[in-house]
Amino acid sequence: MTDTLTGPVPEADDAVPEFPMPRQSRCPFDPPPALKDLQSQGPLVKVRLWDGSESWLVTRYAEQRAILGDPRVSADIDKPGYPSKAFAEAGEGKLSFIMMDDPEHARLRRMVTGPFAVKKIEALRPAVQSIVDGLIDDMLAGSGSGPVDLVDVFALPIPSLVICELLGVPYEDHEFFQENTKTMVRTTATPEERSVASREVAGYLAGLLGKRIAEPKDDLLSSIAARITAGELDHEQATQMALLLLIAGHETTANMIALGTLALLQNPDQLKLLRETDDPKLVASAVEELLRYLHITHLGRRRAVIEDIEIAGQVIKAGEGVIMVNEIGNRDPEAFPDPDRLDITRDARRHVAFGFGVHQCLGQPLARMELQVVYGTLYKRIPTLKLAAPLEDVRFKDDAFIYGLHELPVSW
């Protein structure tokens, strides 16, 4: 693997805009202004990627859903035209079924859907509530009224504890897998650094799977291990599946907790509504609106076109790449009136923050439940929660595949 995200880009045709574009530092919750401009110009535009290759950027909500739901596109990073491999790879090789097409994608995904069903996830709500309450107790019992880094003491532990419990990964190893995950999703890491990080965690998970083959427990790793024993998965496939679940299970939700909290602190009227409500429907609605408004998987859903597709008067040819920037799909005024306003009372559930089509997020019931518990608890229990540094000093993750905050200093 020789691609890098930071290396020199070959000479570019000035007429073709480069993607990704920088955000405006004054508006850290908004998509880059250049992306919004492209959206107002039309639903499809050609862009140039880091490695100099060109791809179609799909800017509007309706077209994004149409293409993500179309079987003529492929999530396989080895297909000709797949938008810049380096851009997609969080580690080494294919990260299980998220980078596969049906029927193999469906076969593998089906093996792990059970624990993420809404009913199963609802049964975990009391346990998640007690994790959240316990961490808040620790914060309040700790260093007076702060400051503390909310990412470190709250946002990252919650989803990490939960996914560890579901998978059967020992939580005491969290620093090891969290640090390696950070490298895997950092766009400024070299491909070699990302590969090493990915191999480290894969090796660790392969070891745990081996133990579960010998001695099964009541956890998701054991049911994945049983598929190896049954000859339905080889060890490598099982390991990549566990890796996908571990990474997706903690890094995403952690960023939503921290970034969502900061967005609410910057929108005190919305925070007040949330703090003062006892209505679980309003809390659930706030979760959907924050997912829409913040859209942490900000570098777009990427696909290779495998058969010509005609859309919005344009033919996208087989062998070309498409990137659905759901971040601006969620800010499309045709789909969400007054899209740049954070309004937790709006019905935002149709957002595309979890993607769309066959690859739509498997963990969304879990992510939703965790965020509902967090957003419904934290600001009530610590009503005076505030940012403990100037906003300009907060470090946003412009350098990661998943947007969020490196730290969130808060006091109360």
Binding site residues, ligand HEM, CB under 6 A: 75, 97-98, 109, 244-245, 248-249, 252-253, 256, 296-297, 301, 353-355, 359, 361-363, 366-367
Residue with tokens 């020789």, as numbered in its chain: 2
**Shortest distance in whole angstroms from residue 384 CB to ligand HEM:** 26
Name which of 75 and 373 has its Cβ closer to ligand HEM: 75
Residue 246 has which token pair? 């571990």
Name which of 146 and 295 has its Cβ closer to ligand HEM: 295
Residue 61 has which token pair? 């909500």
Reduced to 3 states, what is the DSSP secondary structure of residue 113? coil
**Shortest distance in whole angstroms from residue 167 CB to ligand HEM:** 9
Name which of 146 and 208 has its Cβ closer to ligand HEM: 208
Give Cα separations from 26 to 231, 331, 366, 392, 394 (angstroms). Answer: 54, 18, 32, 8, 12
The secondary structure of 41-90 as a DSSP string is H-SEEEEE-TTS-EEEEE-SHHHHHHHHT-TTEE--TTSTT-S-HHHH-S
Name which of 258 and 274 has its Cβ closer to ligand HEM: 258
Reduced to 3 states, what is the DSSP secondary structure of residue 405? strand
Name which of 107 and 272 has its Cβ closer to ligand HEM: 107
**Shortest distance in whole angstroms from residue 374 CB to ligand HEM:** 11
**Shortest distance in whole angstroms from residue 361 CB to ligand HEM:** 3
The contacts of residue 319 (CB under 8 Å, 6+ apart) are: 80, 81, 304, 305
**Shortest distance in whole angstroms from residue 218 CB to ligand HEM:** 18
Name which of 228 and 362 has its Cβ closer to ligand HEM: 362
**Shortest distance in whole angstroms from residue 82 CB to ligand HEM:** 12
For ligand HEM, the nearest residue by Cβ is 363
Name which of 57 and 256 has its Cβ closer to ligand HEM: 256
Name which of 19 and 97 has its Cβ closer to ligand HEM: 97
Under a CB-based contact definition with an 8 Å cutoff, are residues 46 and 54 in contact? yes
**Shortest distance in whole angstroms from residue 359 CB to ligand HEM:** 3
**Shortest distance in whole angstroms from residue 151 CB to ligand HEM:** 15
Whole-number Å distance between alpha carbons of 205 and 237: 12
Under a CB-based contact definition with an 8 Å cutoff, are residues 342 and 349 in contact? no
Give Cα separations from 65 to 34, 102, 149, 321, 350 (angstroms). Answer: 22, 18, 37, 16, 11
Of the candidates 222, 218, 223, 196, the one whose C-alpha atom is nearest the C-alpha of residue 208 is 222
Q: Which helix (H) or strand (E) holds 314?
A: strand 314-316
